Amino acid sequence: MHSTFVLYIGLLLVILVLVMLAQRLKISYPIVLVLGGLALSLIPGLPDVSIDPELIFLLFLPPLLYDAAWNTSWKEFWKWRRVISSFAFGIILLTSCVIAVVSSSLIPGFTLALGFLLGGIISPPDAVSATTVMRGLDVPRRLVSIIEGESLMNDASSLIVYRFALAAVLTGSFTFHEAALSFVIVIVMGIVTGLVIALIFYVIHRWMPTTASMDTVLTFVAPYVMYIVAEAFHFSGVLAVVSGGLFMSNRQQTILSHLSRLQGVNVWATVGFVLNGIVFMLIGLELPVIVSGLGESSLKQAIWYGLVISAVVIVTRILCTQGAAIFTVFISRFIKTADNKPGWKLPLVFGWAGMRGVVSLAAALSIPIMAGGKAFPQRNMILFITFVVILVTLVLQGLTLPWLIRKLGLEEVDYMSEVEQDTLIRKKLTFIAVQLLDTQYKTDVEENELIRQLRATMENEYTFLESYAASHATDINRQQAISRYRIVFNELIHEQREMLQKINKKAEFDEEIVRKHMSLLDLAEEKITQQYK
């Protein structure tokens, strides 16, 4: 137990070093973590790192899915619901069928049931990988929204396919109409279970005397409760977490205080980063165990199978995205669509952004080792192919996606730029604040010095935003001006922190008061960082 704990502490440190290296090289960190884990696995004498297959879903999936659901915009999700739903269900089933046919024809001893199992495992793309690659690139917002929404839903549909395929392998039988009915029940009741439990947590957050720390703990407990309860009734635990997470996220402004939201965002960002980092490292670290269990199949054969399946996965997704674009143009003649002229560039990038990752590995690792007193058929081959698909898609597509985006020159259409939207919103917020002070609190402004200064601050902010908006439209050196502004502002913050540290050394000042002002400086610095990216 002691050695295992030390090993995982060391693993966390390695993850941090590799992520810093990825940032320095400007490469998506999941790619570097997978390659780093692969390199570590080749070090002689390194203990095997493995997780109990029965616990892999329970440990990693609920918090990762809940975090993804919490950060998903319901507005964008609903706007692109048709595209998201088609890729979350129809394309997942189609991809699983293609993989089933190809793998059963290609790999000796592979049945259609095992092929569907493999298809359910490797069909869902990983949003973390794609959005990490796109961070910092000039890509249309709608593309990111669709990728995030698709990943959120196709995780559920792929795992349902995985569940039924696994049952078919274990029982040796499959009845279509029974499976179709069970499929619907699993989906509907999974969603209902998630919403019911979310309502319970909503009541606790809304009307019970919770603190910020308690609210944060409750947000961690919620996804596990949703998942465990749904799975206990043989419903979709993934859909329970997703639906419950979307419900809670859409009401966070009502049920959480500002402190709870600030604290929760920071804690969840850290936990999500650690969990994703561990899983991506496990992808590489698991390789020696997987290779040693290939049995009669040679490593060369297994690599060939993995490369062929990877190519099939990539080509199938690109064909699906282009086909969906053509269908959208056709169907827009009869119904209203969010984008009736998607073109071919955006679907191509969408198709190429289908890197596989966390969910695929978790599903593969959760395959039981034994089935009916015998070793599960082709388990290590499925694991190895999954590993190859993840590695190929992450490295090949992940490293070339930025080049493809720049080459195609994607542009946002019919939308204001982020700078324009941000400035306009801030102007409206400042204007309504000044208007409220001038009408409802006019007497206070005249008699209360603090409120009079507050109004002056708001008015100055509005004047600044007016000039900022004008400079955005006319000044070609706007970025240089903003950069210099941030340098000066950060230098002021730095000097204020130095002063607070000196004050803190004096006995007459309470450290708690000093820490409060340190936090206010942190918030001010973050505000400038977010406003003037």
What are 306-354's pLDDT values in tens digits?
999 999 999 999 998 888 778 777 666 666 665 666 678 888 888 888 8
Residue 64 in this model has a pLDDT that exceeds 70: yes
How is residue 235 annotated by DSSP? Answer: S
- Residue-level pLDDT at 470: 65
Is the CB of residue 522 less than 8 Å from the CB of residue 530? no
Percent of the chain with pLDDT over 90: 16
- Does residue 473 share a domain with residue 357? no
- Does residue 374 share a domain with residue 433? no
67 or 416, which is more confident: 67
- Does residue 424 share a domain with residue 332? no
What gap in Å lies between CA 239 and CA 424, rounded to an integer?
A: 37
Q: Which CATH number is 195's domain given?
A: 1.20.1530.20
What gap in Å lies between CA 51 and CA 74, rounded to an integer?
A: 34
4 or 368, which is more confident: 368
| pLDDT tier, 2 (very low <50, low <70, confident <90, very high otherwise) | low
Q: Which residue has the tokens 């078919």?
A: 168
- Does residue 437 share a domain with residue 347? no
What gap in Å lies between CA 241 and CA 72, rounded to an integer?
A: 13
Query: Of the given ranges (144-148, 222-226, 423-427), which has the lowest mean pLDDT?
Result: 423-427
- Does residue 346 share a domain with residue 452? no
Residues 358-374: what's their mean pLDDT?
78
How confident is the model over 390-446, as pLDDT tens digits? Answer: 889 988 988 888 888 888 876 655 455 666 666 777 778 788 888 888 888 888 888
Q: Which residue has the tokens 């399946």?
A: 309
- Residue-level pLDDT at 414: 46
What gap in Å lies between CA 500 and CA 182, rounded to an integer?
A: 63
What gap in Å lies between CA 308 and CA 466, rounded to an integer?
A: 57
| pLDDT tier, 499 (very low <50, low <70, confident <90, very high otherwise) | confident
- Does residue 428 share a domain with residue 404? no
Domain boundary among 375, 408, 441: 408
- Does residue 422 share a domain with residue 401? no
Asked if the structure places residue 402 within a domain, the reply is: yes
Asked if the structure places residue 211 within a domain, the reply is: yes
235 or 157, which is more confident: 235
Residues 241-253: what's their mean pLDDT?
89
Asked if the structure places residue 413 within a domain, the reply is: no
- Residue-level pLDDT at 337: 63
The helix/strand/coil state of 495 is helix
Asked if the structure places residue 338 within a domain, the reply is: yes
- Does residue 424 share a domain with residue 388? no
- Residue-level pLDDT at 21: 92
- Residue-level pLDDT at 496: 82
Residue 170 in this model has a pLDDT that exceeds 80: no
The helix/strand/coil state of 121 is helix
Is the CB of residue 233 less than 8 Å from the CB of residue 189? yes
Q: What is the count of structural domains for the chain?
A: 2
How confident is the model over 87-143, as pLDDT tens digits? Answer: 777 788 888 889 999 999 998 888 888 998 999 899 888 766 677 767 666 677 777
Asked if the structure places residue 47 within a domain, the reply is: yes
140 or 302, which is more confident: 302
318 or 488, which is more confident: 318
- Does residue 293 share a domain with residue 158? yes
Which pair of structure tokens corresponds to residue 57? 């879903």
Among 172, 133, 127, 119, residue whose Cα is nearest residue 377: 172
Domain boundary among 408, 443, 470: 408
Helix (H) or strand (E) holding 318: helix 299-331
Among 247, 229, 363, 387, residue whose Cα is nearest residue 306: 387
Asked if the structure places residue 88 within a domain, the reply is: yes
Asked if the structure places residue 207 within a domain, the reply is: yes
- Does residue 330 share a domain with residue 456? no
The helix/strand/coil state of 487 is helix
Average pLDDT score over the chain: 81
What gap in Å lies between CA 38 and CA 282, rounded to an integer?
A: 9
Asked if the structure places residue 523 within a domain, the reply is: yes
Q: Which domain holds residue 122?
A: 2-408
Percent of the chain with pLDDT over 70: 84
- Does residue 343 share a domain with residue 450? no
- CB-count burial class (<10 Å; 0-12, 13-18, 19+) for 136: exposed
Is the CB of residue 194 less than 8 Å from the CB of residue 226? yes
- Does residue 312 share a domain with residue 282? yes
Residues 495-521: what's their mean pLDDT?
79
Residues 240-258: what's their mean pLDDT?
88
Domain boundary among 378, 408, 438: 408
